[in-house]
Amino acid sequence: QVTLKESGPGMLQPSKTLSLTCSFSGFSLSTSGMVVSWIRQPSGKSLEWLAAIDWDGDKYYNPSLKSRLTVSKDTSNTQVFLKITSVDIADTATYYCARSCYSDFDYWGQGVMVTVSS
């Protein structure tokens, strides 16, 4: 049974660094073709793909945010992390992690709401 769950601070102040964790089970990120992505969704709006890390440790970023994003994974391949530096109000959103195996995005976490506010 594949599950993913995001965790984060809930609220943080502008200019701070947002750190998110995606904890997953039921699959191995070391399996060829496996990718974990981060996607966000401001309230009432559509989805935005942010970053991804694949089974080989290769990292992919949305160019619009690339300078602020860092994606990584732990050595046990059960968690993926995302850091976003210099957050502002526009980063307020629900953040999801999702698994894909050759681009299908078949499993999503429940999402974690992040509010940027002073």
Partner 1 sequence: DVVLTQTPPTLSATIGQSVSISCRSSQSLLDSDGDTYLNWLLQRPGQSPQLLIYSVSNLESGVPNRFSGSGSETDFTLKISGVEAEDLGVYYCMQATHAPYTFGAGTKLELK
Q: Which residues bind partner 1 (CB under 8 A)?
A: 37, 46-49, 60-64, 96, 98, 100, 103-111
All residues at 6 or more sequence positions from 89 whose CB lies less than 8 Å from its CB, including other chains: 14, 116, 117
CA gap 102, 75 in Å, rounded: 22
Is residue 78 within 8 A of residue 23, CB to CB? The reply is yes
Nearer to partner 1, 60 or 81 (CB): 60
Nearer to partner 1, 48 or 77 (CB): 48
Nearer to partner 1, 59 or 83 (CB): 59
Give the shortest CB-75-to-partner 1 separation in angstroms.
26
Give the shortest CB-13-to-partner 1 separation in angstroms.
27
Beta-bridged to residue 3, according to DSSP, are 25
Max alpha carbon distance in the chain (Å)?
Answer: 43
User: What would the two tokens of residue 22 be?
Assistant: 């995606």
User: What would the two tokens of residue 3 be?
Assistant: 């599950």
What is the gyration radius of the CA atoms in the chain, in angstroms?
13
Nearer to partner 1, 79 or 109 (CB): 109
Give the shortest CB-47-to-partner 1 separation in angstroms.
4
Give the shortest CB-64-to-partner 1 separation in angstroms.
7
